[in-house]
Amino acid sequence: MDVAAERIDRLHDLARAAAADGEDDRARYYVRLARRVAERNRLELPRTFRRFTCDSCDAYLRPGTNARVRLQDGHVVVTCDCGSHARYPYDG
């Protein structure tokens, strides 16, 4: 794994920790920096990172705190406090 991918992993952990401490702006800063590192180095962000961040406001999502997670037939809907929805399919 190269340095850029490791930076993204570290930033993911930092964002999660900051969000858990209620430091939302700091979590946003880590999420944005991780996105920037990924695009500069042409890396795909890890799936857990994509699922736990808001595409529109860059918040680190904590289901039950700043995100609503609902199952509908065949897909999951995640609603951020900013109002944007993310949908992804699930099996079963």
The answer to whether residue 4 forms part of the interface with another protein (CB under 8 A) is yes
Strand 67-72 versus strand 75-80 pairing type:
antiparallel
Query: Is 49:35 a contact under the CB 8 Å cutoff?
Result: no
Specify which residues 76 forms β-bridges with.
71, 88
If the CB atoms of residues 30 and 52 are measured against another protein, the closer one turns out to be 30
Query: Is 50:58 a contact under the CB 8 Å cutoff?
Result: no
Q: Of Zn ion, another protein, none, which one does residue 54 interact with (CB within 5 to 8 Å by kind)?
A: Zn ion
Residue 31 Cβ vs another protein, minimum distance, rounded to whole Å: 12
Site for another protein, rule CB under 8 A: 1-4, 6-7, 10-11, 13-14, 26, 29-30, 33, 36-37, 40-41
